[in-house]
Amino acid sequence: MPERARAARRRFPPRGGHDAGVAVTVLDRELYSMGEAAHLLSVKPARLRAWVDGYTRGQTHYEPVIRSERTGSELLTWGEFVEAGYLREYRVHGVSLQKMRVVVQRLRERFGVPYPLAHARPYVFQRDIVLEVQEELGLDSGLVMVRRVRDGQLVLAQKAQDFFGKVEFAAGAGTADDDEAVRLRPDSSAPQVVLDPLRGLGSPVVRNTRTANLYELWSAGESIAEIAEAYELPNGDVEAAVRYESRLRDQEAVA
């Protein structure tokens, strides 16, 4: 197994729903508060909470899209965060996501994993299963993950492809828990910036340095070259960190 995949399968403290002593993957690692995750995803906190843990409107209770049941926890695991990133790709296009709950449930059952959207298999290895689920549920065209083209090949829908392009998966074959999302690149204009659950507690980093630290030095008046020299980073990495943090701090929630 590649080193990256081995690292992703280290033991982490189990969260609710896992028996103590059971080996869990990096997807189960609690990393973000609801507010932190909403900020990183540029999603309104109330909307993210509804996706992750459900919500109540009047006398009606709406079950979560991501969690199998409501827990009340304000902490997101890496797997929940990655799945929320997938949902965001659809929400920014104005698509209602409540119907995605049953899709996630069905994929969870078919793949036998708690975070099906945070594995490579629906995007790469087992698109046929995704198509079966879509057809069984009569999923609206705006929510589909895969589609069949004229030659019969199954390809990712554009929004699923956009998300897939941001994620790095462990190099497994999808036959066990060996194809988890291990890294996410949140900004295509700053590809040096990554979110990695094994580095910086999941905070945005370039190499092993938090982008927030680099931005704070820059905003205090230090030059890109000075910061790069102090941290032994290429100037381009520091520029990417500053660009990313500036955009993150200026932007409003778009979903």
Q: Is the pLDDT of residue 15 over 60?
A: no
Signed CA dihedral, 215, 216, 222, 225: sign only: negative
* Residue ranges of E strands in the chain: 30-33, 55-57, 60-62, 75-77, 146-148, 154-156, 167-169, 181-184, 193-195, 204-206, 209-210
Q: Which comes out higher in pLDDT, residue 177 or 91?
A: 91
Q: Is residue 29 packed enough to be buried (19+ CB in 10 Å), middle (13-18) or exposed (0-12)?
A: buried
Please name the amino acid found at residue 110: R
Q: What does pTM read for this prediction?
A: 0.87
The Cα 43–Cα 21 span in angstroms is 34
The pLDDT, as a whole number, for residue 14 is 43
Q: pLDDT tens across 68-101, in order?
A: 999 999 999 999 999 999 999 988 777 777 789 9
Q: Is the pLDDT of residue 145 over 60?
A: yes
The pLDDT mean for the chain works out to 88
The Cα 77–Cα 199 span in angstroms is 15
The pLDDT, as a whole number, for residue 76 is 98
The Cα 78–Cα 81 span in angstroms is 5
The Cα 2–Cα 7 span in angstroms is 9
Spans of all domains in the chain: 3-175, 185-255
> Where on the phi/psi map is residue 17: left (φ > 0), alpha (ψ -120 to 50), or beta?
left
The pLDDT, as a whole number, for residue 96 is 76
The pLDDT, as a whole number, for residue 251 is 77
What tokens were used for 15? Answer: 């969260």
DSSP secondary structure, 102-133, as one string: HHHHHHHHHHT-S-GGGBSTTTTT-HHHHHHH
Res. 171 pLDDT band, cuts 50 70 90 = confident
Ranking 6-20, 112-126, 140-154 by mean pLDDT, the lowest is 6-20
Q: What is the CATH number of domain 185-255?
A: 1.10.10
Q: Is the pLDDT of residue 22 over 80?
A: no
Q: pLDDT tens across 180-218, in order?
A: 999 999 998 999 999 999 999 999 999 999 999 999 999
The pLDDT, as a whole number, for residue 178 is 79
Mean predicted confidence (pLDDT) in 171-183: 77
